Amino acid sequence: MNDLLVANSVSKSYGNFKALNEVSIAVPKGSIFGLLGPNGAGKTTLIRIINQITMPDDGNVMLDGQPLTAEHVRDIGYLPEERGLYKSMKVGEQCLYLAQLKGLSKSEAKTRLKYWFDKLEIGDWWNKKIQELSKGQAQKIQFIVTVLHQPKLLIFDEPFSGFDPINANLIKDEILQLRDEGATVIFSTHRMESVEELCDHIALIHQSNKVLDGKLNDIKRQYKTNTFEIGLESLDKEKVFSEIQAKFEVLPATFKNLNDDIKLNIKTNEQTSPNDLLSFLTSKAQVNHFVEVIPSASDIFIQTVKNN
Amino acid sequence: MNHLPLIIKREYFTKVKNKSFIVMTFLSPLIMIALIAVVAYLSQLNNDKHRTISVLDETGYLEDVFQDTENTNYTNLNGLSLEDAIVLVKEKEDYGLLYVSKANSLDDIEGHVKFYSEDSPSLSIISGIEQRIEKRLKEKKLELDGVSMAQIEASQTNIDIAQESFDGQKSSKIDNVVKLAFGGAAGYLLFMFIIIYGNMIMRSVIEEKTSRIIEVIISSVKPIQLMMGKIIGTSLAGITQFIIWVILGGVLMFIVSAIFGIDLAQVQSPQQEMVNQAMQAGDPQVMAENLITAISNLPLLNLIIAFLFFFIGGYLLYSSLYAAIGAAVDNETDTQQFMLPILMPLMLAVYVGVFTVIEDPHGTVSTVFSFIPLTSPVVMLMRIPFGVPLWQQGLSLLLLIGTFVFAVWFAAKIYRVGILMYGKKPTYKELFKWLKY
């Protein structure tokens, strides 16, 4: 079994509204799995089903090869998008309570909390009330509580919202470290740059259906258009340009380049290899920029959603 | 995994450590006692007021009718004219002037009685005067018909019916009063408990929603566990508060009456008046004995057991409904529309208890309402001191438990959907739809 979590054609309706329509995903062990989709697509419903907060109408979810049971709450750490803490409860008490709800013993929870509080340098918050903390500070507590019981599966829904860039980086590094220590992460966000940075698998849900799913690199390969950004230096710009135009499809270029020379995007077909293109270009002019255009996660997202 | 004890513990300690809870716990009995003391003091003040009423009787029939009492003196102004009498009464600043003008015969006199005063006189004084005049006139008339005063006095009888049930248990009027007191106290206690602590449960559910912690919690525990934990934890906090109130109230009552010498027990409440009437100023020692027998005549064991079951059953039933309301709404102002269906049966139960159980504890209305689950806890608790067959109690309890189980199921459904719904105030129709999710 290489997949930690498998959802098999999960469906869920609220009245007449179908929130999920036979969605299947497989989250490989040790991966960071990006669960993407526009607002209202059904991501949160799927996450809630994985957390057994709501029950699916149809289909099932397997964790580590077993159908979900109440015991599995210990194996999952969930940071919901709608999150908060008891405002008038002290930080320490609250962490202990939430940790015990996840099945840790009190003393075990204390030891681990001390480790995390020292690591994030927030030891002096222990006796403060949540309402005395700032939003970002409360988020840190929330993060600790989510990962404290060392679950096999971590689910983060917009984990970076409310953090300044420094703390966002801190949390990002913690997530990567947890992944390296063996945890599997489901990561739901609208920030495509963090998908780019973190995820190795993604699934895209749109209007209650899964429309895309796979390794991020494979998907990018699928979506690439054999387009190259080209920068050329030549004395006779017009001649070079028309020669290229005769042979290839030329698109306007948008990339930035130091030299104020010929800038263009060239779209080739499947038969032309990058080397063919490059050798053609070097025979015509000095090449100072040659990059294959790889679609970003954001491009893929927008393109897929628009096409569906 | 059973998290119930953990949740109960948290709910309990958060409630008990809450500042406003602590303040309320210790301040309420103080305020209550202070209030009672003030009322007692004021009513004493009122009783101490001394007044003089002048009487001008031109008929001569009412001689000796008005004897001075502790607080009221009567002065006889016979011989003066009405105008002079009024001037005199005004000068002396008397309470008022009772004027009976000359009448031709005894039958005629009723239209000839008048009371003059600065302000309108108190109702009790007027009715007291009326009663005395009526009594005197009745005696005079009887005398005219040839009945002597001695005969009239001899005709007075005082009946105190001795009561005995078919199986030979003796009882007296005081029994009923004691039964009413026990039943009423139990029913009222339950009513207060539901209102105060039901609301507390509702607020704590709403708090979890508004602070958005609910989704975190719900990913670890089942909603029904959370709900039951809340209900039990809050109830325990409530019981703690109640015990402190009773102890503190008792001690304070003792201290206040010792220091200020105000007899707080003398503050007349309607029940106490009933007790007094029932006792009819008999020999205090006999009365005390009667009271003790009355209490020991109560089905005490039945009362205590039934109290526990109906109290717990009724309280849990209502609190699960309160929890469901809390889950259905976002903030307290939205709770109003859902509160009404809860408060209605509760109020109804108290009214039925007060008006019909007292009148006829085993009548149709009382019996029926002691079976309907939403009213049965209060009504049945009020009926039990009067002796309710065990099968009735059992059936009623069974119905109550059945409804409770249904209510918990219902509340849990609303709860599990409602706690994750934000932003919109649901309608009843939507609530009904949630049941099917």
In a domain, B429, yes or no: yes
Residue range B3-14: mean pLDDT, rounded = 91
Distance CA B211, CA A139 (A): 13
Q: Which residue from A minimizes the CA distance to B5?
A: A101
Regarding whether B197 and B64 lie in a shared domain, the answer is: no
Candidates B11, B21, B207, B220, partner chain A, best to mutate (most A CBs within 10 A) = B220
Condensed to tens digits (0 to 9), the pLDDT of residues B113-127 reads 888 888 888 887 888
User: How far is it, in rounded angstroms, from Cα A102 to Cα A120?
Assistant: 22
B389 has pLDDT over 80: yes
Residues A10 and A146 in one domain: yes
The answer to whether residue A306 is domain-embedded is: no
Same domain, B118 and B250: no
Instruction: DSSP letter for B105, please.
Output: S
Distance of alpha carbon B415 from alpha carbon B431, whole angstroms: 10
Instruction: Look at residue B267 in the predicted model and tell me its pLDDT.
Output: 47
Task: Tell me the C-alpha to C-alpha distance, in Å, between residue B130 and each of B67, B121, B352.
Answer: 14, 13, 36
Can you give the residue range of the structural domain that contains A32?
A: 3-221
Q: Check CB contact under 8 Å for A51 and B18.
A: no
Query: Are B58 and B125 spatial neighbours (Cβ–Cβ below 8 Å)?
Result: no
Closest chain A residue to B221 measured between Cα atoms? A101
Of B211, B218, B420, the CB nearest to A84: B211
What is the Cα B346 distance to its own chain's centre?
15
Contact list, A83 vs chain B (CB under 8 Å): 212-213, 215-216
Of the partner residues A73, A80, A86, the one whose CB lies closest to the CB of residue B215: A80
Strands A17-28 and A153-157: unpaired
Query: For residue B282, what pLDDT is reported?
Result: 52
Residue with tokens 């999710």: B437
Both A113 and A239 in one domain: the answer is no
One domain for residues B122 and B189: no
B43 Cα to chain A: minimum distance (Å): 45
Which of B113, B148, B183 is at the close of a domain?
Answer: B148
Residue A301 lies in a domain: no
Torsion of CA B423, B426, B430, B433, to 10 degrees: 70
CA–CA gap between residue A296 and residue A196 (Å, rounded): 7
Task: Choose the final residue of a domain: A189, A205, A221.
Answer: A221
pLDDT digits (tens, 9 = 90+) for A251-275: 887 777 666 677 888 888 878 888 8
Is A303 domain-assigned?
A: no
Partners of A267 in the beta sheet? Answer: A227, A249
Whether B19 is in a domain gets the answer: no
Nearest chain B Cα distance for residue A130, angstroms: 11
Q: Give the CATH number, domain containing residue B100.
A: 3.40.190.10
Residues A57 and A170 in one domain: yes
> Which of B66, B43, B44 has the alpha carbon at shortest distance from B54?
B66
**Min Cα–Cα distance to chain B from A187, Å:** 16
Per-residue burial over B178-193, b = 16 or more CB atoms within 10 Å of its CB, e = otherwise = bbbbbbbebbbebbeb
Q: Which residue is it, tokens 């009567």?
A: B74
Of B211, B216, B221, the CB nearest to A80: B216
A298 found inside a domain:
no
Shared domain for A7 and A135, answered yes or no, is: yes
Q: How many residues does chain A have?
A: 308
pLDDT tens digits, chain A, 308 residues: what are they? 588 999 999 999 887 888 899 999 999 999 999 999 888 888 988 999 999 888 888 999 999 889 988 888 889 999 988 888 988 889 999 999 999 998 899 999 999 999 999 988 888 899 999 889 888 888 899 999 999 999 999 999 989 888 889 989 999 999 999 999 999 999 998 888 888 889 999 999 999 999 888 898 899 888 888 888 888 888 787 888 888 888 888 888 777 766 667 788 888 887 888 888 888 888 888 888 888 888 888 888 888 888 87
From CA B348, how far away is CA A118, in angstroms rounded? 59
Place of tokens 């976002």: B330
B297 and B210 within one domain: yes
Confidence of residue B271 (pLDDT cuts 50, 70, 90): very low
Interface test with chain B among A81, A82, A90, A106, by most B beta carbons within 10 Å: A82
Res B169: pLDDT = 64
User: By three-state DSSP, how is residue A129 classified?
Assistant: strand
- Give B436→chain A minimum CA distance, Å: 8
Global pTM reads 0.74
B319 lies in the same domain as B406 = yes
Q: Are B127 and B178 found together in one domain? A: no
Identify the pLDDT of residue B116: 87
| Beta pairing partners, A214 | A202
CA atoms of A291 and A274, how far apart (whole Å): 10
Question: Do B285 and B137 fall within a single domain?
Answer: no
**Per-residue pLDDT, A5:** 92
Residue A161 lies in a domain: yes
Q: Would you say A225 and A267 are in contact if contact means Cβ atoms under 8 Å apart?
A: yes
> What is the complex's ipTM, to 2 decimals?
0.79
Q: Which is nearest to A237 in space by CA: A300, A305, A299, A285? A: A285
Q: CA nearest A175: which of A143, A202, A200?
A: A143
Cα–Cα distance for residue pair B376/B187, rounded to 1 Å? 10
Nearest to B221 among A83, A101, A142 (CB): A101
Structural domain count of chain A: 2
**CB distance B342 to B218 below 8 Å:** no
Tell me the pairing of strands A58-63 and A184-188.
Answer: unpaired
| Assigned domain for A199 exists | yes
Q: Which of B219, B221, B430, B433 to mutate to test binding with chain A, by most A CBs within 10 Å of its CB?
A: B219
> Does residue A78 sit in the same domain as residue A175?
yes
Residues A204, A252, single domain; the answer is no
Cβ neighbours of B422 in A, within 8 Å: 82
The alpha carbon of residue A211 is apart from the nearest alpha carbon of chain B, in Å, by 26
Q: Which domain holds residue B91?
A: 51-148
Instruction: Check residue B110 and give its pLDDT.
Output: 76
Residue B8, in any domain of the structure: no
Would you say B214 and B323 are in contact if contact means Cβ atoms under 8 Å apart? no
d(CA A17, CA A308): 19
For residues A82 and A229, state if they share a domain: no
Q: For all residues of chain B together, what is the average pLDDT?
A: 80
Nearest CA in chain B to A17: B437
DSSP string, A223-254: H---EEEEEEE-S-HHHHHHHHHHHSEEE---
Tell me whether residue B284 is in a domain: yes
Asked if B211 and A142 come within 8 Å (Cβ–Cβ), the reply is no
| B7, B213, B218 ranked by CB distance to A86: nearest | B213
Pairwise CA distance, residues A293 & B377, whole Å: 76
CATH number at residue A286: 3.30.70
Q: Which two tokens stand for residue B329?
A: 């709404």
Whether B215 and A82 lie within 8 Å, measured CB to CB: yes
What is d(CA B159, CA A206) in angstroms, rounded to the nearest whole number?
89
Which of A15, A48, A87 lies at the smallest CB-CB distance from B211?
A: A87
Q: Are residues A194 and A268 in the same domain?
A: no
Do B94 and B195 fall into the same domain?
A: no
Distance from CA of A183 to the nearest CA of B (A): 18
Is there a domain that residue A168 lies in? yes
Nearest chain B residue to A13 by CA: give it. B437
- Chain B positions with Cβ closer than 8 Å to A: 1, 3, 6-7, 10, 14, 18, 207-208, 211-213, 215-222, 416, 420, 422, 433, 437
- CB B216 to CB A145 under 8 A? yes
Residue A112 and residue A146 in one domain: yes
How far does the CA of residue B384 sit from the closest CA of chain A (Å)? 43
DSSP 3-state of A106: helix
Given a contact cutoff of 8 angstroms between Cβ atoms, the answer to whether B399 and B371 are in contact is yes
| CATH code for the domain in which residue A54 is found | 3.40.50.300
Let me know whether A152 and A260 are in one domain. Answer: no
The answer to whether the CB atoms of A101 and B213 lie below 8 A apart is no
Q: Are residues A40 and A88 in the same domain?
A: yes
Residues whose CB is less than 8 angstroms from the CB of residue B145 and which lie 6 or more positions away in sequence, other chains included: none
Same domain (yes/no): B175, B303: yes
- Let me know: does B248 contact B26? Beta carbons within 8 Å: yes
A61 plus A152 within the same structural domain: yes
| B241 and B140 part of one domain | no
What phi and psi values does residue B75 have, to the nearest 5 degrees? -110, 140
Structural domain count, chain B: 2
Residues B204 and B82 placed together within one structural domain of the fold? no
Q: Look at A83 and B218 and tell me if their CB atoms are within 8 Å.
A: no
Tokens of B221: 């525990």
Chain A with chain B: Cβ pairs closer than 8 A: 69
pLDDT digits (tens, 9 = 90+) for B147-204: 887 888 888 887 877 777 776 666 666 777 777 888 888 888 888 888 888 988 998 8
Nearest to residue B45, comparing CAs of B262, B276, B271, B270? Answer: B262
Is the residue at A299 inside a domain? Answer: no
Q: Are residues B319 and B357 in the same domain?
A: yes
CB contact under 8 A, B213 and A103: no
Chain A residues with at least one Cβ partner in B under 8 Å: 14-15, 48, 51-54, 70-71, 73-74, 76, 78, 80, 82-89, 97-98, 100-103, 142, 145
Q: Which residues neighbour A158 within 8 Å (Cβ) at sequence distance 6 or greater?
A: A81, A188, A189, A190
Does residue B349 contact residue B377 with C-beta atoms inside 8 Å?
Answer: yes
Chain A residue numbers with beta carbons less than 8 Å from the beta carbon of B8 are: none
The pairing of beta strand A32-36 with beta strand A201-206: parallel
Note whether residue B183 is domain-resident: yes
Query: Given an 8 Å threshold on Cβ–Cβ distance, is A51 in contact with B219?
Result: yes
